[in-house]
Amino acid sequence: MNIFRLLGDLAHLASIFILVHKMHTTRSCRGISFKTQALYVLVFLTRYIDLLYTWISLYNFVMKVFFISSSGYILYLMKYRFRPTHDPSLDTFKVEYLVGPCFVLALIFNYRFEVTEILWTFSIYLEAVAIFPQLFMMQRTGEAETITTHYLAALGAYRALYIPNWIYRYFTEGTVDPIAVVAGIVQTGLYLDFFYVYVTKVLQGQKFELPA
Amino acid sequence: DQGNAVHDEL
C-alpha cells in the first residue's frame, strides 16, 4: 500500500458517498445513468469473486464488501426509491456494445485461461469503459448538476491515482500488471475531456455546460 | 511471471 493507491481508494469511496448524498438530498437520481451504475455492480461482482476463496487483508476485504454493497444500494435507490426521477429515454447507450467486446477481449488477453481469472480480466476491461453511458447521457443533455460533476471528478481521480501507484510499485517491488495498467490508462483517458471542463468551469463556480 | 496472479488491488 502506498499513498497514491490509498488516495485513489479514498477518492473512489468519496465518489460513492457523493453520489448517495446527491440522491438523498435532492430525492432524485436525475442526471445519473442507471446503465453505468448497473455496469459497476457487474464489475464488482466479477472482480471480487475472490472474496470467496482468497484473503488478502482486512482493508481489502472491507473495501470489496463496501463496493459491492454500495453499488447494489445505488441500483436499489435508482430502481425503486427514486424511480420516477430517472428518465430512461436519456439513458440510451447500448451496454451490449461494452459487455460483449470486453468479454471477448478477456477471453483472448488474460493471464490464465481460468474462469475466475477471465472474470477478473473482464471486470478490468469493463470498468475502463463503464462510464460511457454516463458520459453519453451528459453529451445528450449538454449539462450536469454540479454535484454530479463532483461525483465524476472523484471517480476519475480514483483511476488516475492508480497510475502513479503502478509506477511506484514498479520501482519498489518490480511488479507490473500490464492488463490493469493498459486498461487503467484508457479509463483515465476517457475522463480527460470531462476533467478539462470540470477544472475550467465547475471549479471556477460555473455550471457544467458543454458547448452546443 | 504473472502465472498465479494475486490481485491485491481494488
Flag whether pLDDT at A157 surpasses 90: yes
Percent of chain A clearing pLDDT 90 (strictly above): 98
Flag whether pLDDT at A134 surpasses 50: yes
- Decide if A208 is inside a domain: no
Residue A211: the pLDDT is: 80
By DSSP bridging, strand A143-144 and strand A208-209 are antiparallel
User: Residue A87's domain spans which residues?
Assistant: 3-203
Residue A118: the pLDDT is: 98
The runs of H, that is alpha helices, within A77-191 are 96-108, 115-129, 132-141, 146-173, 178-189
- Decide if A157 is inside a domain: yes
Flag whether pLDDT at B5 surpasses 70: no
- Decide if A212 is inside a domain: no
Cβ pair B3:A180 closer than 8 A: no
Please count the residue pairs, one from chain A and one from chain B, whose beta carbons lie less than 8 angstroms apart: 31
State mean pLDDT over A131-159: 96
| Per-residue pLDDT tens digits for A88-106 | 999 999 999 999 999 999 9
Nearest to B9 among A67, A111, A180 (CB): A180
| Per-residue pLDDT tens digits for A9-51 | 999 999 999 999 999 999 999 999 999 999 999 999 999 999 9
Query: B9 at the A interface (CB within 8 A)?
Result: yes
Query: How many independent structural domains does chain A possess?
Result: 1
Flag whether pLDDT at A191 surpasses 80: yes
Flag whether pLDDT at B1 surpasses 90: no
> Which residues of chain B lie closer than 8 angstroms to A64, CB-CB?
10
Nearest to B8 among A56, A162, A178 (CB): A56
User: How far, in Å, CA of A149 to CA of A165, rounded?
Assistant: 24
Query: B1 at the A interface (CB within 8 A)?
Result: no
Flag whether pLDDT at A110 surpasses 50: yes
- Decide if A100 is inside a domain: yes
